[in-house]
Structure 1
Amino acid sequence: MELTYDDRALVLGETLVVADCHVGRGTGGELEFPVGSGTEMVERFRDLVERHDPEAVVLAGDVLHSFQTVPRTVEGTVAGLKAACRDAAARLVVTPGNHDTMLDAVWDGPVEREYRVGDTLVLHGHEPPEGSADRYVVGHDHPTIEIEGQRRPCYLVGEGQYRGSDVVMLPSFNKLNAGVRVNTMSASDFQSPLVTDADRLAPVVWDERARERREFPPLGEFRRML
Structure 2
Amino acid sequence: MIKGLIFDKDGTLFDFNATWGAWTWQMITTETADNPAKGTALAEAMGYDMKNRRFLPGSVVIAATVEETANVMLTVLTDDTQDTLIPRMNAAAGAVEQVQAVPLIPLFDDLRARGLQLGIATNDAAEPALLNLTSAGVRDHFHFIAGYDSGHGAKPGTGQLDAFCRQTGLAPYHCAMIGDSTHDLQAGRAAGMTTIGVLTGPAPAAELAPLADVLLPGIGHIPAWLDAQS
Larger Rg belongs to: 2
TM-score normalised by L of structure 1:
0.39
- Structure with the bigger RCO (C-alpha within 8 Å, sep 6+) is 2
Q: Which has the higher helix share?
A: 2
TM-score normalised by L of structure 2:
0.39
